[in-house]
Each structure stands twice: as structure tokens, then as C-alpha cells.
A and B are shown apart, each in its own frame.
Chain A
Amino acid sequence: MERLIFYVLATVAVAGALGTVSFKNPLSCALSLVVTFVALSGLYFQNDAPFVGVLQLLVYAGAIMVLVIFVIMLLNLPDVQLEQERVSRQGIPLALFLLGPLGVLVISRLISIELGEKPEVNASFGSAASVGELLFEKYLFQFEIISVVLLVAIVGAVVLAKKRL
């Protein structure tokens, strides 16, 4: 059963990713990206990370993607332009000669190695309570830093989006 769920989720995630990079219309891209995110969230659950999985759904698939879709609709690019902007010719050799070897190298290696069995974990692994405990004790300082980063991002976004630059 677990194996089946994994295959389904993995297939959906990869398919969504392929859709994201290949659709002509950005809106279709964004929607397939949402599909990928949802599948990824499932994979997180499979890995005993329910809290992060929920975050992935809420923040990524929810908030961020809504933002992207808003922008897409705001720009409302005409079809002609979209066609022009689809594929960059100079990117093809780059992708072929750089990503081809990289993919072959990494994936062949991953297929051949043995990492051994996963250990048993207790029930609270990945729950909101235990992640929160770790976050507010060991990673408190980093947590504060990331909030400052978010604040700066908000200010930056406001400045950039003003009528006059």
C-alpha cells in the first residue's frame, strides 16, 4: 500500500513539474506547479513530516501560488508575446550539455547505492509540537533572523511596487 501511494505521488509530482516547464501559458504552468506541490506535501507525510507537509500546502500551494497567479492575471500577456517567449534557443545546448551529464551522473549513482533500512521513529516525530520545540529552542536565533528577512522583503516589495521608482 505504502509503495503504491509513493508511486502515485512521485509520478504526479514529476508530471506536474514537467508540465510547469513545458506549458505555453503561465497560468497552466502555475496550476501544474500547484499539483506538484500537493503531491510533494503527500511525500512529506510519507516521510513522517506532517507539520511540514501541512505548511507546504498552506503556504506554498496556498499563499505563494495565489500570489503568482495574481501576478499572471495582472500582467495578462498577449498570446503572440507568449509564443515568442516560450523557448530560448541558446538555452537548448546549455541544458543538453550541462544537465544531461549531471542527471546521468546523479541518478545512476542513486540507483546503485544502498543506504540501508530506515530506523523506527516514535509517534511524535515531525509533529507540530516537537518541531515547534526544536524551532524555539535550538533554532530560536535563526528563527528571529528569518522574521527580519521577511520584514525586509515586505518593505522591499512595497518600495518596488510603488507607482514611481
Chain B
Amino acid sequence: METLVVLIPLLLLAGSAISGILALAKTRGHEVPDRAISWIACTGPVLAFLFTVLIFNNMGEGQVLVAGYDWILAGGAWIKAGFAVDHLTMVMLMVVTGVGSLIHVYSTGYMKGDGGYARYFCYLNLFMFFMLVLVMANSLLLLFVGWEGVGLCSYLLIGFWWADEAKARAGMKAFLVNRIGDAGFLLGMLAIYKTAGTLNFQDLRTFVAGNPEAFLQGSGFFGVSLATASCLLLFLGATGKSAQIPLYVWLPDAMAGPTPVSALIHAATMVTAGVYMIGRMNFLYALSPTSMIVVSLVGALTAFFAGTIAMTQFDIKKVLAYSTVSQLGYMFIAAGLGAVSVAVFHLVAHAFFKACLFLGSGSVIHAMDGEQDMRKMGGLQRKMPITFITMAVSALAMAGIPPLAGFFSKDEILWKAFSSELGHGWFLWLLGIAAAFCTAVYMGRLIFMTFFGSCRADEKTRAHIHESPKSMTGVLAVLGVGAAVIGFLNVPHFLGGHAAFSHYVDSALMAAGEEPLAAETGSVAVELSLALLSVMVAFAGLMLAWRWWVKDPSLPATYVDRYPEVYELVHDKYRVDEFYQGAIVEPLENVADGTLYKAIDRKGVDGAVNGMARAFRWLGARLASAETGNVRTYVAVMIAGILLVMLSLLT
């Protein structure tokens, strides 16, 4: 078992190294067939998935621990690097290796003929390696290594077509915004290490259970307790990686990368790392109600705002990007309520339908010859049947139509919010249901604008439209089926199910005999009526979308004309980017360029260095006249030296 666990990430690392070497060989002019690269690149993820299934079958109730080795000597104590696979990790492993394998296969079709084929798979394998390290790490520090690693790969893949400056800039933006969050993560980690003296999850949990007062003492910062301070700092890291307010701005720009990358990294796996981290640390969050309120509130606000923005975007990938931000917000609502298993369930469901939607949009973009604007699509239904069906199923799943996956997961979150005892549950529920309405509208809009009506593309593109190759449609079909049926893993009690998934995940997070944080309250009748309400909201959203974008396409324009200011504001994404640019980036640039570079560096530091050089040049010029170039003079000086030595020795 331990060997298998270690092999999983190593397989991906090896795959990445080989693809990297092949990519280098290619730049040196060696002939490397794309087929070979495809095989090498896909072997790692697929084998990793098989190993994961093997471990899943043999694991049972406990967890698999890999001791690892002494890693860093910090303050006299060794920090050990090791892996720990429990049920929560198992779920993440399934998602990462399963969806990862599918997307690798899809990529072999999507990236066909690209000049950086080997480089692409080198990055993609490397990303999966770091993601696996992230979810399998047994300590916060090793998790952070994976955290930074996936950030790096995300940067590399967003800027994959670096020749386009906008894309390279998008990569940089993602990296820099994440850096802000990571600084918070690092500080939170240090605070925890200082308090508990360990970063190992198991030791930390024991420590927190044994003496919680160590974390409840004041942190010396506005009377905030240490637990709250470190939880909020860690959450800052999560807002960066998982694209929540205030650091979500990088994710929409990240769509500059190849579409499979958007599906794998910026929808299914990496961006859920924040949710996973909070789930992992939930025992610490339990000590700090303040931080839990903040997490769920930020999640709810993000879900709603990103949902409204998604309704006004025309770029198909941008719509999906904002929808990802919105769905991640849902996960944070649940995570902030302590309902980790619910959050993780939505994570899994989301991984399926969002990956399917992204890959479907990739298929559409492929067919439309690179066109991403939905205003130029339409009527693709007949020409791309498989893409249409899978995307439609996924969209319905996301909108929350029963019995597809999204219905179960989203409804569970809303119910947790409504029944929460934290005192702000109704507000979360209200935002959540509003976001659910938005979800239905923008998903309907995306499907209707793309696949219904008449084709708005020009003649040349229209002739080019075709269904994608089998490697792509096959993957779409698998993901579509997944999006449809995965919900049955976790049928709630009031519908006669057993909530099997929740029990599986909760058993990893709760010590024996411990109750789940958000205990079941309220009656079955209330739960059932709320579920009905959310289904009705979803249908209402879809109906509205149908009326606006299929029946009467002129209607949206009249509303836009009636409230131009509101529309402009939302369409411009609430002008958050402009605000950050003006409030943070430009002042920083002014300080860096005006003060630090021009005044201090160029005038101060360079001036001192150049001045020194000038002084020595002047001195050298004066001294150079001693060099007459006449050999006789030199010898005379030498003999004068001998004379002096002799004089001092002999007299």
C-alpha cells in the first residue's frame, strides 16, 4: 500500500521529466513523434488512477500513512515530509487522477499539431504531480509545497502561448495575485507552528483537542484570538488559490490558457485546493466562529456577485470562469458552516460538470476555428450532437435540475445554510438562492446562445464547423454521464437515501464519537419544501433564459436600454479590476518606478557606484604617466628598490 501511495505522484513526476526532456530534444531539432509523447504523458495519470482505485478498495476505515523522511531542521526539531491518505484525500485523489486522466486524453486531440506539444504535457504532468502532493501531504508545510507548485504550473500553462503578450500578462497576473494569498497562508502557517510546535495534521488535531486554550489566547492584534488570526490568514491563501473575493480577479483572465488547462486546473482541481485546505483544517476553524462566519459570508457574496457577472459576459470561457468562481463560493459557504463533506461533495460534482462544460466549450471553440464570442455562435445543435448533449446535461446539472448531480450537492449546501445555528444562516441562504437563480439563467443563456437559433458565424467559419475527434467526444461522454449520475452517491435522508458520501468523508474528519459540526436540525417537511423551492427557482431561471435568448432575442437589449448604468456596471465586472489597478497597482508602480528606481536606484546606488568608478579612473589616469614605456626606467626603479633593501639590511 505505502509503495502504491508513493508511486502515484512519482509516476507523474517521471512523466513530466520525460516529456520535458523530449520537449528540449525537440527544440534542439531532434525528431520526436507526437504519438510517443501522447503515450508517455497519458500513462502516468491513467496508472495513477488505477492505483488510486486499488488503494480505495483495500483501505477500509483507517488511513494509509507514509512516514517519509526528515526534511527540514527547524528550531531543533525535524519537520518530516510524508504522505497521509484518508477518506478526504481519497476523494480528492479520485477527482484529480480521474478527471486528470480524462483531460490528458482530451488534450491529445485538442493540442494536436501545436508546436509546444511536449512542453504542454510536461507542464500538465508536473501540475498533477504537485496537485497530488497537495492532497496527499501529511503536514501543512508539504501541502504548501504542492500549493506553490500548482501555482507555478498554473502560471506556466496560462502563459503557455507566451508569444501573445496578453496571455503572458494573464499568467503573470494569476501568479502575482496568488502571491498575495500565499503570503497570508505562510503567515498563518507560521502562527500555527509557533503555537502548536507542529504542522503535521494528525499532531495538530491532537494538540487542538488536548489544549484548545493555546489557540484561544489573544494574538495581540485587536484582541483577535490566535485561532481566528491563523484561520483568517489561511483563508486569505484560499481566496487567492480558489478565486474568492477579494482575490478572484485572476481566474477570468486565466482563460487565456489552452481550454483543457482551464478545465483541469482552473475548474476541476487546483482552484478547489482552498476548499480542501479548509476541510483539512476544520478542527482549527471550529475553534473560531468568527473565521467561519467570514469564510461562509465571503463564499456567499462571491457566489452571488460572480453569478451576476456571468450573466452579462459574451466570451464563452469567461462565462464559465465566472461560473466557476460562483460555484467555488458555494463550496466555501458549506466549508464555512463546518459541513466539509457537503463542500467536498459539491467539489466532486462541480469537477465533473464544469470539466465537461469547459471541454465542451473547447470542442465548440475548436469547431468555430478559435472563435470564443457567443454572439457569433448559435445553431450548433445539429452539427455537434455529442458536444451539445453532454454540455446540456452538465448545464442542467449545474443549474440544479433533479436528479442530476448539481441538484443534490447544491440543495444540500442551501439546506445547511438555512438550518445553520450560527445566526446568519438565512442571509447566506438568500444569497445562495439568488446565486442559484443566476446560475440557471447564465447556464441557459450559454446553451441557448451557442446551440439554438440560427448560426451567426460568417460563411468561412460556418463551413469549418464539425464534430470533434473521438478522443475529445469520448471524454465528453464520460464526463457527461458522470455529471448526470454522480449525485446518487449522496442522496440525502429526506429523499430516502443514506448520504453515503457524506458519511465516508466525515468519518475521516471526525474523531470517534464526535458529532458533525453542523448537526441535522429542522424537520423533513421544511427540508423538502426548500428543495422544491430551489428547483422552482432553477426552472424559473431556465424559463427566463429561454424567453430572452430563444423566443425573443431582442428582449435583453430592451432591458439593457432601460437600465444602462446597471448593465454597464455588471458587464464591466463591477470595475473591480479597474479599482485594483488604480488603488493598488498604479501607486505601487509609481513608488517602484518613480521613487525606488529613478531616485534611489539610478541616482543613489548607481550614482555611488559610478562615482567610485570615475574616481578610480581619474586616479588611474594620473598614475598612468608613471608608465613611460621605456624599459630602462623600469629597471632603474627596480635597482633603486634593491638599493633601498640593501641599505635597510646592511646599515
A109 at the interface (CB under 8 A from B): yes
A105 in contact with B639 (CB, 8 Å):
no
Q: Which residues of B contact A88 (CB under 8 A)?
A: 632
Q: Which one, B632, B647, B651, contacts A94 given CB within 8 A?
A: B632
**Most chain B CB inside 10 Å of its own CB: which residue of A94, A99, A106:** A94
Beta-carbon contacts of B91-122 to A below 8 Å, as 1s and 0s? Answer: 00000000000000000000000000000000
Cβ contacts A84-112/B at 8 Å (1 or 0 each):
00001011001000110110011001000
Q: A88-B632, A94-B632 given as contacts; is B643 within 8 A of A109 (CB)?
A: no
Contact A90 B650 (CB under 8 A): no
Q: Which residues of A contact B651 (CB under 8 A)?
A: 105
Verify B632–A98 contact, CB threshold 8 A: no
Q: Tell me, in angstroms, the Cα distance from A98 to B637 when the chains sit together.
A: 9
* Shortest distance between the CB of B638 and any CB in chain A (Å): 10
Closest Cβ–Cβ distance, residue A132 to chain B (whole Å): 34
| CB of B642 closer than 8 Å to a CB of A | yes
Closest to B647 in A: A105
Query: Which residues of chain B are near A106, meaning CB under 8 Å?
Result: 646, 650
8 Å CB interface, A101-126 against B: 101-102, 105-106, 109
A interface footprint on B602-643 (CB within 8 Å = 1, 0 otherwise): 000000000000000000000000000000100010011011
**How many residues of chain A get a CB closer than 8 Å to chain B's CBs?**
11
Nearest CB of chain B from residue A142's CB, rounded to whole Å: 25
Q: Which residue of B lies closest to A91 (CB)?
A: B632
Contact A101 to B650, CB < 8 A, known contacts A88-B632, A94-B632, A94-B636 = no
Residues of B close to A98: CB separation below 8 A: 636, 639-640, 643
Chain B proximity mask over A50-62: 1 for CB below 8 Å, otherwise 0 = 0000000000000
CB-based contact B639/A99 at 8 Å: yes
- Please, which residues of chain B bring their CB within 8 A of the CB of A105? 643, 646-647, 650-651
Give, as a whole number of angstroms, the nearest-CB distance from B238 to chain A.
Answer: 66
With both chains docked as a complex, state the minimum distance between the C-beta of B385 and any C-beta of chain A, in angstroms.
80
Query: What separation, in Å, do the CA atoms of A102 and B645 have in the docked complex?
Result: 10
* A101 B636 Cβ-Cβ under 8 A: no
Q: Which of A90, A99, A109 contacts B632, CB < 8 Å? A: A90
Please measure, in the bound complex, the distance between the C-alpha atom of A142 and the C-alpha atom of B639, giving whole angstroms. Answer: 28
Q: Which residue of B lies closest to A98 (CB)?
A: B639
Task: Identify the closest chain B residue to A93 (Cβ).
Answer: B636
Q: How would you classify the secondary structure of chain B's contact residues: helix, strand, loop or mixed? A: helix
> Which single residue of chain A is at the shortest CB-CB distance from B632?
A91
Please name the residue on chain A nearest to B640 by beta carbon: A98
Q: Encode contact with B along A133-154: 1 for CB under 8 Å, 0 otherwise.
A: 0000000000000000000000
Q: Is the CB of A101 within 8 A of B643?
A: yes
Please give, as numbers and ranges, the residues of chain A lying within 8 Å of B639 by CB-CB distance. Answer: 98-99, 102
Indicate if the CB atoms of B642 and A102 lie closer than 8 Å: yes
Are A102 and B636 touching (Cβ within 8 A)?
Answer: no
Q: How far is the CA of A88 from the CA of B640 in the complex (A)?
A: 19
In Å, the complex CA distance between A109 and B650 comes to 8
B403 to chain A, nearest CB (A): 88
Nearest Cβ on chain A to B650's Cβ, whole angstroms: 5
- Taking the closest CB of chain B, its distance from the CB of A52, in whole angstroms, is 25
Q: Say which residue of A90, A91, A102 sits within 8 Å of B646 (CB atoms).
A: A102
Which among A90, A91, A102 is the interface contact of B643 at CB below 8 angstroms?
A102
What is the CA–CA distance of A35 and B59 in the complex, to the nearest angstrom? 101
What string of 1s and 0s marks CB contacts (under 8 Å) between B167-209 and chain A? 0000000000000000000000000000000000000000000
Shortest distance from the beta carbon of B26 to any chain A beta carbon, whole Å: 44
In the complex, residue of chain A having the shortest beta-carbon distance to the beta carbon of B638: A98
Residues of B within 8 Å of A91, CB to CB, are 632
Q: What are the residues of chain A within 8 A of B640 when measuring CB–CB?
A: 98
Per the bound structure, the CA–CA distance linking A88 and B632 in Å amounts to 9
Closest to A108 in B: B650
- In the complex, how many angstroms separate the beta carbon of A99 from the nearest chain B beta carbon? 7
Write the nearest CB–CB distance from B646 to chain A, whole angstroms: 6
Q: How far is the CB of A95 from the nearest CB of chain B, in Å?
A: 9
Q: How far, in whole Å, are A101 and B639 apart by their CA atoms in the complex? A: 11
User: Which residue of A has the minimal Cβ distance to B642?
Assistant: A102
Chain A residues lying within 8 Å of B643, measured Cβ to Cβ, are: 98, 101-102, 105
CB closest residue in chain B, given A99: B639
Contacts of B632 on A, CB cut-off 8 Å? 88, 90-91, 94
Q: Which residues of chain A come closer than 8 Å to B646, judged between CB atoms?
A: 102, 105-106
Tell me the bound Cα distance from A102 to B646 in angstroms: 8
Least Cβ–Cβ distance between A83 and chain B, in angstroms: 19
Whole-angstrom distance between the alpha carbons of A105 and B640 in the complex?
13
Q: How far is the CA of A98 from the CA of B641 in the complex (A)?
A: 10
User: Smallest CB–CB gap between B643 and chain A, Å?
Assistant: 5
Cα–Cα distance between A101 and B650 once the two chains are bound (Å):
12
User: Given the complex of chains A and B, what is the CA–CA distance between A125 and B642 in angstroms?
Assistant: 33
A125 to B633, CA, bound (A): 42
- Shortest CB–CB separation between residue B360 and chain A, in angstroms? 73
Minimal beta-carbon separation of B649 from chain A (angstroms): 10
Distance (whole angstroms) from the CB of B110 to the closest CB of chain A: 62
**Nearest-Cβ distance from residue A55 to partner chain B, whole angstroms:** 27
**Nearest Cβ in chain B — how far from A123, in angstroms?**
37
Q: When chains A and B are docked, how far (Å) is the Cα of A102 from the Cα of B640?
A: 9
A109 and B632 alpha carbons, distance in the complex (Å): 28
Complex interface: chain A residues within 8 A of B650 (CB): 105-106, 109
Which A residues between 59 and 93 are near B, CB-CB below 8 angstroms?
A: 88, 90-91
Q: Which residue of B lies closest to A88 (CB)?
A: B632
Smallest Cβ-Cβ distance to A94: which chain B residue = B636
Across the two chains, which residue of chain B brings its CB closest to A101?
B643
A90 to B631, CA, bound (A): 12
CA distance A150 to B191 in the complex (A): 69
Residue of B nearest to A90 (CB): B632
Instruction: Give complex CA distance A99, B647 in Å.
Output: 13
Q: How far is the CB of A112 from chain B (nearest CB, A)?
A: 10
CA distance A61 to B563 in the complex (A): 112
Chain A contacts for B647, CB-based, 8 A: 105
Distance A22 CA – B639 CA, assembled complex (angstroms):
20
How distant is A117 from chain B, measured CB to nearest CB, in Å?
24
Which of B632, B642, B643 lies at the interface centre, i.e. has the most chain A CB atoms within 10 A of its CB?
B643
Q: How far is the CB of B417 from chain A (nearest CB, A)?
A: 85
For the complex formed, measure the closest distance between the CB of B626 and the CB atoms of chain A, giving whole angstroms: 16
- Give A94 to B643 CA distance when docked, in angstroms: 12
**Which of B's residues lie within 8 Å of A, judged by CB?**
632, 636, 639-640, 642-643, 646-647, 650-651
Known: A94-B636, A98-B640, A102-B643. 9 other contacts (CB 8 A): A91-B632, A94-B632, A98-B636, A98-B639, A101-B643, A102-B642, A105-B651, A106-B650, A109-B650
10 closest pairs, A vs B, by CB? Answer: A94-B636, A98-B639, A102-B643, A109-B650, A105-B646, A98-B640, A91-B632, A98-B643, A105-B650, A101-B643
15 pairs, A vs B, C-beta closer than 8 Å: A88-B632, A90-B632, A91-B632, A94-B632, A99-B639, A101-B643, A102-B639, A102-B642, A102-B646, A105-B643, A105-B647, A105-B650, A105-B651, A106-B646, A106-B650
Q: B-contacting residues of A (Cβ < 8 Å)?
A: 88, 90-91, 94, 98-99, 101-102, 105-106, 109
